[in-house]
Amino acid sequence: MAGAAAMLVLCKEYYEQYLVRASYESPYFTHRTIITFVIQSDEHCHNLLWMNVSYFRQFVEIFKRAGTLEDTIHCKVEEQVSIFLHIVAHNPRVRTIRACPRHSRATISTYFNKVLKAILGMQDFFIKPPTGETPSQIEGNPRWMPYFKNCIGAIDGTYIRAKVSVEEKPSYFCRKHFIAQNILAACDFDLKFTYVLAGWEGSASDSRVLADALTRADKIPLIPGKFYLGDGGYPLLRHFVNQHRKTAYHLNEWRGRRPKTSNELFNHRDSSCRNVIERTFDVLKKRFNILNEELMYNFDKQVNIFLACCCNHNHIRRFMPNDSILEVVDNFLATQFMVQTVEDEDIPQDPPQSRDDVKRAGEKIRNTITTQMWNDFSGRH
């Protein structure tokens, strides 16, 4: 009898340990949570997914109509998308909600990857090239119009922390002293990305990344007669206008001070116009906390996650332009007062294609704008 009793105890322990699915605390959502909590109010939905209920439903409907995501027996599309959005918004290490135990980590990973693939498959739907029309933000600003009427956006680079092999770390060690990938992006004046190139090593110069963007198959979109505004790290080209070197430029409007030269006036107004890309990057990083830490994925997936976050950002900007995160970013930037000078040593060697008519065309555009801007300014003062 004692032996039979011991055998029953062992069988019970084996059943409970290996055959019964143990419950655990998960930071992710169940379908019931979505129905009863996530879409219960805009406040709940925004806190968890960084978008309001109607925009979340619109986001889900995009994949349903395209057929890239479908309900499964265990997980509806709404739940699949919410899993992805919650992870990129709050990072798996951040426990922002005490949810019901429903899915294992393997299941969560499966649906995260499924939604990631669906978003990347529709990248052209979310990230659209500029139209070439003069942005309304420029038309309505006398400091920028008509000088930047042919400007279709701004370009800049940013660093996103990366996890790479020990052998690759020196190449990915950026000038800000951490391991990162160097991102090149262009945006319009609605703070939507119009082009994103991710995956370059953190040690790569901005001009080198731009050279790649100009020659690769999925190149940055260029429009005849139009240009982007870039900072001093980029070469002066026909389609890319930067500041005058060795001239102070102001990232915020200065008070009680009159610019002393035409170059200074141009650099200041250029900076105030170009800071749209800085605002876009800041909103992106505040919205998606997963971008602010080293990711525990292979490098290709790290690149894809960044691209997917840009797609999601564009959807939110399209339907929810008055975002509270943008207000936080603008309030922070308003407190910053910086005066910088573009020095020759800050500028990498111009690529070969910029040493001929292309570079002279860029200089002509910038000089024409500078002269016209200074003449108009001097006439009013």
| Whether residue 83 sits in one domain with residue 50 | yes
- Closest by Cα among 60, 62, 59 to 319: 59
Give CA–CA dist 93/96, Å, rounded.
9
Structure tokens at 155: 């370009």
| Whether residue 76 sits in one domain with residue 202 | no
| Whether residue 253 sits in one domain with residue 338 | yes
- pLDDT (0 to 100) of residue 125: 96
- pLDDT (0 to 100) of residue 101: 42
| Whether residue 144 sits in one domain with residue 100 | no
**Residue 267: pLDDT band with limits 50, 70, 90:** very high
| Whether residue 237 sits in one domain with residue 200 | yes
Give CA–CA dist 207/163, Å, rounded.
24
Domain end, chosen from 106, 121, 136, is at 121
Q: Give exposure, 265-275, as e/b (b: 16+ Cβ within 10 Å).
A: bbbbbbbbbbb
Does the structure show a pLDDT above 70 at 23? Answer: no
| 217 three-state secondary structure | coil
Domain encompassing residue 116? 26-121
State the first-to-last Cα distance of the chain, in angstroms, to the nearest integer: 106
Domain end, chosen from 121, 150, 182, is at 121
| Whether residue 275 sits in one domain with residue 142 | yes
| Contact (CB, 8 A) for 159 and 174 | yes
- pLDDT (0 to 100) of residue 100: 40
Domain end, chosen from 121, 154, 169, is at 121
Does the structure show a pLDDT above 70 at 341? Answer: no
User: Could you tell me if residue 205 is inside a domain?
Assistant: yes
| Contact (CB, 8 A) for 281 and 317 | no
pTM: 0.84
Q: Residue type for 138, please?
A: I
| Whether residue 164 sits in one domain with residue 80 | no
| Whether residue 189 sits in one domain with residue 96 | no
Cα-based distances in Å from 290 to 85, 94, 118, 222 = 10, 10, 19, 31
Q: What letter does residue 318 receive in the DSSP assignment?
A: H
Q: What total of structural domains would you count in the chain?
A: 2
* C-alpha dihedral, 89 to 91 to 94 to 99, nearest 10°: 70
User: Could you tell me if residue 137 is inside a domain?
Assistant: yes
Residue with structure tokens 């395209």? 66
Does the structure show a pLDDT above 50 at 167? Answer: yes
284-309 tens-digit pLDDT: 999 999 999 888 889 999 999 999 99
| Whether residue 176 sits in one domain with residue 52 | no
| Whether residue 263 sits in one domain with residue 180 | yes
- pLDDT (0 to 100) of residue 343: 42
User: Could you tell me if residue 18 is inside a domain?
Assistant: no
Does the structure show a pLDDT above 50 at 344? Answer: no
| Contact (CB, 8 A) for 262 and 63 | no
User: Could you tell me if residue 252 is inside a domain?
Assistant: yes
| Whether residue 203 sits in one domain with residue 85 | no
107-146 tens-digit pLDDT: 888 999 999 999 999 999 999 999 999 999 999 899 999 9
| Contact (CB, 8 A) for 340 and 217 | no
